[in-house]
Structure formats: C-alpha cells, structure tokens
A and B are shown apart, each in its own frame.
Chain A
C-alpha cells in the first residue's frame, strides 16, 4: 500500500522543504520507492534543495494540463534511483489545480511508488489545501516560536476539516510533530518554548527534533539533502525521524545541553 504524506506548517521558513527533501531521501535510502512533489506553484525551491534545478524540463502543472507525461516530468535523483522529484511550475498558474486533476496524478503515482511526499507551500490558501487534501499522514513542521506554533495549530484544524479523509469521514490523517531549529540551551534557560510546551499546546505525537545546525544551510547551498550529511546532528536527527516513521523505536537525541568542561569554559569553545 502506498502512502501520501504531506509536509506542512502554515508558517513559511520553518523548514518544510528541508524536511521534505531529507524525509524523502531518507525513505528512498532505505529502499522504498519515493517521490517528492513540490506544491509551491510559482515559487519552486525543492529542486534547488535537492540539487536538480538544472535538470527540470517539465513540471507538475505540465503534467496536470497533460502537456507532459509523469514519466517525462519526474526527475531521478543523482545518487539514489529510488528517489524521484516532481518539481513545481515557475509560472503562477495556480488555477491549474483542481482536486480531480491532482487526484489523477496522485493515483498514478500511487501505482508506482511506496511513498509520495507532498511539500506544501506556506499559508492556508489553495496550494496548501491541495497539498494536504489527499494525505494519509502529515508531518507538521514547527519552530519553537510563538507564531509558528499558532500557525501549526491552524493547519491541524485544516487537516481535520478540509482533507479528503475528513470530508469522506474516513480514518483521520495521522499527524506527526517535527520540531526544527531547536536549541536545548535556550529551552533550558526558559528563553525558548520547550519540547514539552510545544507538544502540550499542539497535542500531537512528536516524531523528530532537528537541532539548530550550520549543516542545514551548508547542505542546501550544495543541493544535497542534509540527511546525507551523516556527521551532522541534523542529518542524524532526520535519520532518526525516518526510523520512527517506519515504526522503529528510536530515542530522541540532541535534547541535552552540552556540558562544558573546565578548560572549554576558560578558553571558550
């Protein structure tokens, strides 16, 4: 059975595309046939984060308008043949999206892939609603920031009311919380909302915590999903998240404040 997973947040800039790229690369890395779709029509960016921007010929809107076949539009990842990318269009042709047409593409993808990851645009407009409409599960990406938590709460409301599963009264979308840019030091001193706070406010189960790390920017600069940077804490945290998604019991890491030794305290880190 194939699964459709939407990566969403409401607020922009919290790490949806970074999470989509790493999550999809992680699933593919474990042998699952995976496709990741950019739903941000007009503001395509997933191609850059995945490092395939120069290989885009056809896009999602071309497929929807039947100007190209899925096979023509899908871009195979440079290093992993299990991973494919369906880029968004750069023209502002949002009206191309209808539930029927998107549904047809999703159905076709379901026949060929195990996991279909939908990278949602920010906001609660048409594009975001379309990205979540066919979802079976959702990764709700949240920063430990007041505006991000509130917007995630709004998106949870949309998942519960505006998805196909909600409309048809099927089993509801399974929601998972991903906290990004987490900084244990600042949470401990009470400057930043803690994981417990965020979980309590949003009331959904935590699937991953991605610590604030330079590796994320470095990886997107290079066009490589950060999950492939095995040395970095964020890469490892994304690997853990994929394991948990696949049902493994993996403890949360990178939540402790690093204890500074005596010498480090004197000479600095």
Chain B
C-alpha cells in the first residue's frame, strides 16, 4: 500500500443496526406479551380443537390457526381453518 493510499483511505462505514434490533424486539416482545397474558388453558384448547377437526377433515396442522385477541374488555377467540379444496380426499372415512 502506497503512502497515497493511506491518505485516500476512507473511514470504515459503520452499520446502523440498532434500528433493526429495536424493530425486531418490538415485534417479538409484543407477541410474547400476548402469549404470556393469554389464559393458561389456551394451548391445551388449541390442541384439542385440532384433534377434533382432524377426526372429520384431512387438514395439516398449519392449516388451523387459533388466535385470541383482545379489544378493550372483549376477548375474541378466532378459529381459522383452511379446508382442502378436493372434497373427496378431504373427508376422513
């Protein structure tokens, strides 16, 4: 490296990653608060609902979504099941 390169050398750019960290923390912590504040029976309820549904319809675990949301004083248990399109294969005989 010549002496001219030394003077031409630019300072190493710093990556401002703190904003990314903060954003990610916001999201993950909000999610964890929802889980922590939810009722204790929610995971078991979720599991049993899935078992019942699987008795009648062929669905993958990922196709069933259980969500508990809170709007003020009101709690809403949302159950979302994506049923397979082909009815023949969907039914459990």
By a beta-carbon cutoff of 8 Å, the part of chain A in contact with chain B is 146, 149-150, 153-154, 157, 161, 187, 189-194, 197, 201
Contact = CB atoms under 8 A, between A and B. Distances in A.
A193 B18 contact: yes
Nearest to B26: A201
Interface stretch (B9-17, B67-75, B78-86): B9-17
The interface residues of chain A, by DSSP majority, are classed as helix
Most-contacted residue by chain B among A154, A187, A190, A201 (CB, 10 A): A190
Contact of B16 (A153, A190, A201): A190
A250 B12 CA distance: 37
A193 B14 contact: no
B28 interface: yes
B21 A146 contact: yes
A201 B21 CA distance: 11
A203 B84 CA distance: 45
Contacts of B21: 146, 193, 197
A106 to B, nearest CB: 27
A154 B22 CA distance: 16
B28 A193 contact: no
B17 A191 contact: yes
A59 to B, nearest CB: 34
Contacts of A193: 18, 21-22
A79 B22 CA distance: 43
B29 interface: yes
A193 B17 CA distance: 8
A187 B14 CA distance: 11
Contact of B32 (A154, A190, A194): A154
A212 to B, nearest CB: 16
Interface in B22-52: 22, 24-26, 28-29, 32-33, 36
Most-contacted residue by chain A among B14, B19, B25 (CB, 10 A): B25
Given A157-B32, A190-B16, A201-B29, 11 more contacts: A146-B24, A150-B25, A150-B28, A153-B29, A157-B33, A161-B36, A189-B16, A191-B15, A193-B21, A201-B25, A201-B26
A146 B25 contact: yes
A150 B26 CA distance: 9
A189 B29 contact: no
